Amino acid sequence: MTSLELESLCKNYKIFVDTNALMLENAEIFHKNIHDALYQTNTKIILAMRVYNEIKKVAESTDNNTRSRAKYALKVVEHFNNSNLLDVREEENEVIGGSKIFADAVFPMVFSKNRLKHNLCLITQDAKLAIDMLNIKYSQSITSYKDMKIVFIHNRTYSLHEWEPRLERTHGLKWEPQSINGTTQKSTNRFTQENAEKFNLCSSPLIEKERLLSVSKLPSVGEYVFTSKLEKIYLKKFIASGGEGELFETNNGLVCKIYKQERLTNLRKRKLELMLNKNILIKGVCLPKKIVFNDQNQFVGYLMDKAQGHILQTSVFGKPVLKNKFPKWKRENLVQLALTIVQTIEKLHNVNIIIGDINPNNILVVDENTVFFVDTDSYQVENFPCPVGTPIFTAPELQGFNYADILRTKEHEMFAVATLIFMILFPGKTPYSSQGGEDLIANIKNRNFSYVREKDEADKKPFGPWRFIWSHLHFELKKNFEEVFSKGCKVAIEDWAKALGYYLKGIKEGHSSNELFPSSYRVQDGISMNCVECGKKELVSKVHFDKIQSEGWKFRCSRCREIYKLRMSMKISQPTQNNSSHAYNKPTQNQHKPNNSSVSKNNSGLLNFIKNFFS
């Protein structure tokens, strides 16, 4: 870009700057040029507080060159601030669960939130962050989105250039705008990795006896591990322990996993070596980066990127935890979270990595656009199976198998993907839950999906808001769920991304409810009626309105009808002269008076649960 283009950029875009752009060596010319352009256009460059704090921290580095560049960056910030050309922002979501998130995680969050309002530009020297930001740029086709430019400072001319053509040239990456009608783009938010390394797809698992390796000592806090290139890594702080080993913070910002003695085998080491043999980087996926050894040069574990956020299982799967962890979320946030996770799984599949154990305990959520996948050393690569699994995420045809003895396929994994999407959109509810049904595993094997029923078949959808959530889903999602859970078909991952995109678009355009837990069925052009029990107003379709009026029924809102149905199913209501259980029927005097002798504590608790869920 020329200086004239720089002025145009300052005038028409909100410009954000990353840490590495401020610390770039010999960039005085660029910093002077953008200073002058901001001054001429009477605008400001935006600095995230997290970026500023990161620079201050780096300024205390023991490395002379790094420390010098950070101190120069602080002088640039001070100069811009003194010239009234700097706008320092601290996003409310920078603090997650009491701890700060990384600076480069701020930009996806801020740009996703503000791209409807402003043209946005990010100056960064980080190719990986640029790829992530371009994925956001091309994630949806909503025409009201403003423009996004992701640019870098050229290291010879010190002018700005866009990342997109450079990445296409150097990495073989291409982006195309998504077309919601599917005519120009087959998938949502995908880039093609034409030159990316991929693992081979194998048809049979490795058959070889596993052998324990000899290890004299397992490193712990305050001790060192070493890489194959003799890098010395200090174990600073204990993080957590699990079934396979312990996690430690290190002095280089990575996390080190030290396996338990009984987990250190020749095949585990070979699998890690295979995973490291491919140059694969996927945002948010904490793949092994380096194998580590003790001071006797014995294999003990590996290094990976540090994950952050809340565990999906304990932060999204349930109304109380969801309201506690993400109190400002609406349904569109849930849908975007599902889309972000699906897109991450798609990137893994593109390089022939199969997760195997898709498990909500192994996904961490920072926000709806930022997730981290952990426990990646168990992923299936080539002929190394994923030896673990979770029954409710296991396809019917694999139920009862020993996971370590089989190789899953991408098609097998699509059942788990469908289940995970369902449990995000129906927070914590499994797709095979039903009234009075068999256990979940039996329902999976028999494909008893209660949200789809034959004519005259009893409605077995679980009590509560779940049937209302189903009512508000986009029909493409309903169709996909029926294909997987009722018919046993496999829906491609790009079709899931497309369906979620439709649903998100419908919510933003007001065609579907944006409530996390809708309290009534979806009704278009409805007529408002007052509930005779609680007085709440609710829309009903004209057909139902005419039926209520002609039959003389007393109208009850969705909440009161659910409570009524639950009471009827528990047989705690007095029978009416008319045996019809229609929720609009005129009640007899004692219809809603429970028979105290027949109400168990469990039933009473379930009734209170339904009432509280709708509160």
CATH number of the domain that residue 292 is part of? 3.30.200.20
Q: Which two tokens stand for residue 364?
A: 């961490």
Q: Phi/psi class of residue 42: alpha, beta or left (left: φ > 0; alpha: ψ in -120 to 50)?
A: left
CATH number, domain at 44?
3.40.50.1010
Contacts 24+ apart (CB under 8 A), 575-583: 582/553, 583/556
CA distances from 12 to 147, 152, 164 (A): 10, 18, 20
Q: Which residue has the higher pLDDT, 294 or 432?
A: 294
437 and 382 part of one domain: yes
Within a domain: 252: yes
242 and 335 part of one domain: no
- Decide which of 109, 129, 162 is a domain's last residue: 162
**What are the E-state strand segments in 78-179?**
86-89, 95-96, 99-100, 120-123, 148-153, 160-162, 173-174
pLDDT at position 31 over 70: yes
Average pLDDT for the chain: 82
Within a domain: 584: no
Domain interval for residue 239: 223-305
370 and 301 part of one domain: no
Q: Residue 99: which pLDDT band, with cuts at 50, 70 and 90? A: very low
Task: Determine the Cα–Cα distance for residues 332 and 612; give it in Å rounded to an integer.
Answer: 23
CATH number, domain at 367?
1.10.510.10
145 and 261 part of one domain: no
pLDDT digits (tens, 9 = 90+) for 509-554: 888 889 999 877 766 666 777 887 787 777 766 666 667 778 778 7
Within a domain: 167: no
Within a domain: 433: yes
Q: Which two tokens stand for residue 357?
A: 């154990």
Within a domain: 599: no
300 and 324 part of one domain: no
By CB atoms closer than 10 A (0-12, 13-18, 19+), residue 578 is: exposed
235 and 354 part of one domain: no
395 and 452 part of one domain: yes
Is residue 76 within 8 Å of residue 22, measured between CB atoms? yes
Q: Which two tokens stand for residue 203?
A: 């048809």
pLDDT digits (tens, 9 = 90+) for 115-172: 888 899 999 988 888 888 888 887 654 455 788 999 999 877 888 999 888 887 766 6
- Per-residue pLDDT at 141: 47
130 and 241 part of one domain: no
φ and ψ at 536, to 5 degrees?
Answer: -70, 140
Is residue 311 within 8 Å of residue 322, measured between CB atoms? no
Within a domain: 590: no
Within a domain: 192: no
pLDDT at position 383 over 50: yes
CA distances from 386 to 197, 358, 378, 491, 499 (A): 21, 10, 5, 22, 29
pLDDT at position 349 over 60: yes
498 and 532 part of one domain: no
- Per-residue pLDDT at 199: 95
For 557, residues 6+ apart whose C-beta sits below 8 A from its C-beta are 519, 520, 531, 533, 534, 536, 538
Q: How many residues does the chain have?
A: 615
Contacts 24+ apart (CB under 8 A), 100-105: 100/50, 100/53, 101/50, 101/308, 101/309, 101/366, 101/370, 102/50, 102/308, 103/18, 103/19, 103/48, 103/50, 103/51, 103/54, 104/18, 104/129, 104/132, 105/308, 105/366, 105/370
294 and 366 part of one domain: no
Task: Determine the Cα–Cα distance for residues 89 and 91; give it in Å rounded to an integer.
Answer: 6
461 and 565 part of one domain: no
Q: Which two tokens stand for residue 362?
A: 């192994």
277 and 321 part of one domain: no
How many independent structural domains does the chain possess? 4
Task: Determine the Cα–Cα distance for residues 478 and 88; give it in Å rounded to an integer.
Answer: 45
Within a domain: 248: yes
- Decide which of 133, 162, 191 is a domain's last residue: 162
Q: What angle do CA 456, 459, 462 make, to 5 degrees?
A: 170
